[in-house]
Amino acid sequence: MAPWPDEARCAVLITVDLDAELAILAADPSTRDRVKTLSVGGYGATRGVQRLLGALDGVPSTWFVPGRNAGLVREAHQAGHEIANHGHAHEDFDPLDLAGQLDAVRRGQDALAAATGTLPRGFRTPAGEWKPGLAAGLPALGVDWSSSWRGDDLPYFHPSGLVEIPLHHELEDHPAFMFNLDPPFPAGQSRIAPYAAVLENWIQEFDAYHRFGLCYVLRLQPEVIGTPGRIGLLRSLLAVMRERPGVWFATGSQVADHWRATRTGNEPGHPADVFAELTS
């Protein structure tokens, strides 16, 4: 079992991606002139953010924000939540070369630091895949941890020393609820699952993470979870977590700092190290 602080049984990291309209534009640039479609993101930046901040009162969280949305972070930052990097314009990293990916992160760092007075330490890929060398280049930009990859249920180290706090699709609201009729998001895939079933999934996963001493990372988007009905799912989940003994609610930087303070490297044969050897 992972030795979490104060003998906690598991860690819980609540994360929020404050993309607003940028994620929609990145997914389909043709929506630039479709104000009705873009209003989905605007709803998240207002009503969704307000409801999330209310539900998270007393619970630390980390908000991943593109640099172009730096003006939207004031409420979350003032409430004490951590602000982390989500690129600059919610770029699709797939067509970018390494220099372009690093530039997107750098621009996001500059914008968020100007808005909050603090250089973000965490990063989450907006969309697409990393180019080889990105993990090695992030520390020079002030980033010492990421929550982008999927390769474990516990944090681990990239060869550069960057701490990865992995997440999984089943602990996200987007795959269950994201829906836009025209143009369709996601294309060819239905959404809006039964609310009770999604909550049951999240609780069942939490019970297992709690049992085995793992790091539970929940990924939310204000426009998705922040409706009048769905915000109750988060409140119900947090109520279950608070009832369990030994739950450590933490920010991404707190998790990364703890992992770095109690580990010098990955366990032998960790997939991250194997992957690094195969791609070097």
- pLDDT band (50, 70, 90) for residue 39: low
List of residues 6+ apart from 3 with CB closer than 8 A? 262
- pLDDT band (50, 70, 90) for residue 27: low
- pLDDT band (50, 70, 90) for residue 22: low
Answer yes or no: is pLDDT of 58 > 80. yes
Reported as half-sphere exposure (CB side, CA atoms, 13 A), residue 193 has a value of 18
What per-residue confidence (pLDDT) applies to 183? 64
By three-state DSSP, how is residue 130 classified?
coil
What per-residue confidence (pLDDT) applies to 190? 73
DSSP tag of 172: B
**Domains of the chain (ranges plus CATH)?**
5-269 (3.20.20.370)
* Higher per-residue pLDDT: 28 or 222: 222
What is the percent of the chain where pLDDT is above 90?
Answer: 74
Long-range CB pairs of 233-238 (<8 Å, 24+ gap) are 233/195, 233/198, 233/199, 233/202, 234/52, 234/55, 234/56, 235/55, 236/199, 237/199, 237/202, 237/203, 237/206, 238/55, 238/59
Q: What is the mean pLDDT of the chain?
A: 90
Average pLDDT over residues 243-256: 98
- pLDDT band (50, 70, 90) for residue 254: very high
Put simply, whether the predicted model's pTM sits higher than 0.85 gets the answer yes
The lowest-confidence range among 9-13, 110-114, 182-186, 219-223 is 182-186
Residue where the block lists tokens 């999330």: 52
Answer yes or no: is pLDDT of 230 > 90. yes
What per-residue confidence (pLDDT) applies to 44? 76
What per-residue confidence (pLDDT) applies to 57? 96
Answer yes or no: is pLDDT of 36 > 90. no
What per-residue confidence (pLDDT) applies to 197? 97
Average pLDDT over residues 207-226: 96
- pLDDT band (50, 70, 90) for residue 271: confident
Reported as half-sphere exposure (CB side, CA atoms, 13 A), residue 224 has a value of 25
Average pLDDT over residues 260-265: 94
